[in-house]
Amino acid sequence: MALKKAMIIVHKGSKTENVQVMFNPGEYTIDTSNNYDWKTVPGLSMPIAQFVSGGTTTLTMDFFFDTYEKGTDVRQLTTKISGLLDVEKEIHAPPLCRFVWGSLDFKGVVVGVNQHFTMFLDTGVPVRAKLKVTFKSTLSKKDQLKQIPRHSADRTKLKMLNQGDQLWTIAANEYEDPTLWREIAKANGIDNPMKVATGRRISVPRLD
């Protein structure tokens, strides 16, 4: 059976790019947690745990890169991964990513990249590196609402645009997903989100 390479699928606004690793990771770690509010009650020996919310799932692994035989700068490869921390102009946030390898399909964002360069040419150019990469899972408010049974639906909201407000910042605050700004634009008949006047009242539709 042919070796299947791990891949990072990057969603950059309306475009999708694939970043293939040089070597598959030897191992990876998945951490999952919940958030609790621990309330102290007088007279009890232990605090009472009150569930607040689920926590994010974290995926951590090491990637190795080696360009010694080619004699090229290994950073030409490593920047494709460290660059996933950069803010995308279209969504004003780093891109969403999927790490796909075998049965693992992890959707989230890259929150940390530690680059360790271990070999250099005589000129000082790095040719070998180890990257510790940390992903955190993300799920939009729209997707979370689909998963959680609720007794009442979210209601449409009216908001006034203040100085500096943009549709994607409102989408990030209301939906926890800046890419859903198009839902707001569609509900308000906005063709150009860059030309929305300050002080305008807009409708923030509920998510179906």
Q: What pLDDT does 2 receive? A: 61
Q: Quick one: 131 and 35 in the same domain?
A: yes
Domain of 174, in residue numbers: 142-204
- Same-domain pairing of 131 and 43: yes
Mark which of 105, 138, 171 sits at the end of a domain.
Answer: 138
Q: Do 108 and 179 fall into the same domain? A: no
CATH number of 157's domain: 3.10.350.10
Residues facing 19 on adjacent strands:
8
Is the same domain home to 131 and 147? no
pLDDT digits (tens, 9 = 90+) for 130-170: 999 999 998 765 666 566 554 333 567 888 888 778 888 88
Any domain includes 1: no
Q: How far is 191 from 182, CA to CA, in rounded Å?
A: 10
Per-residue pLDDT tens for 57-108? 999 999 999 999 999 999 999 999 999 999 988 888 899 999 999 999 999 9
Question: 115 with 37, same domain?
Answer: yes
**Does 28 lie in the same domain as 84?**
yes
Same domain, 82 and 131: yes
* CATH number of the domain residue 122 falls in: 2.40.30
* Together in a domain, 195 and 110: no
pTM: 0.65
